[in-house]
Amino acid sequence: MLRILLVSFLLFTSINSNHSADNLIDYYKETDFKTIEEAIKDFEQQKQLSLVPPNYIPFKVSHSFGRYIEKGTYKGQLHLEYIDQPSNNVISIFVSDASQEFAPTKDGSEEIINNKILTKYNVVQNEEANISNLSFKLNDKAFLIQFITNKTNEPIEKEKMFKIFESIIDNN
């Protein structure tokens, strides 16, 4: 539900002015987000797992936020957000220990990368957004990468999603 609220907030709010940028920052802070670095530190301390964030994001990041979720349905997950404010594009990365599996992607494709990593990929299109999903497990962690864009924009190319994936596996 929270994921839907975040998507709705970003897609229905014009975030092109400085005033709106302040609103965006306030919104994330009110929903317990902090810096990517602080969130990763919380995750590493709670889960005893190390994590290096991706070094490839396919757009210019205007804002980034992160949080370690300590309660509710998504308890134990790390949630990172990279935002391109002018285009309203968002990359969300969810990380958990490998015992917490992300919901399988429906109507998607499966590929084995480097002869060992099973990935699942799909694109969901609804009235508000195009959401590309890529999930995989690496060592002792499970990952879900989502690229969210306005319905009026094209979904991200699959190759760019896999470049994000590669930048994660190269460092972890």
Entry pTM = 0.86
Burial track 113-135 (b if 16+ CB lie within 10 A, e otherwise): eeeeeebbbebbeeeebbbbbbb
**What is the pLDDT at residue 10?**
47
What is the distance between the alpha carbons of residues 10 and 38, in angstroms, rounded to a whole number?
A: 23
Helices and strands in the chain: count of H runs, count of E runs? 4, 7
| Average pLDDT for 134-152 | 92
More confident site: 61 or 171: 61
Average pLDDT over the chain reads 86
| Average pLDDT for 21-26 | 83
**What is the pLDDT at residue 105?**
62
**What is the pLDDT at residue 106?**
64
More confident site: 31 or 67: 67
Share of the chain above pLDDT 70, in %: 86
**β-strand pairing of 141-150 with 78-84:** unpaired
Which sequence spans correspond to the domains of the chain? 2-169
Q: What is the pLDDT of residues 85-137, one digit of tens each?
A: 988 899 999 999 988 877 666 677 888 887 788 888 999 888 889 999 999 99
Tokens of 141: 């962690």
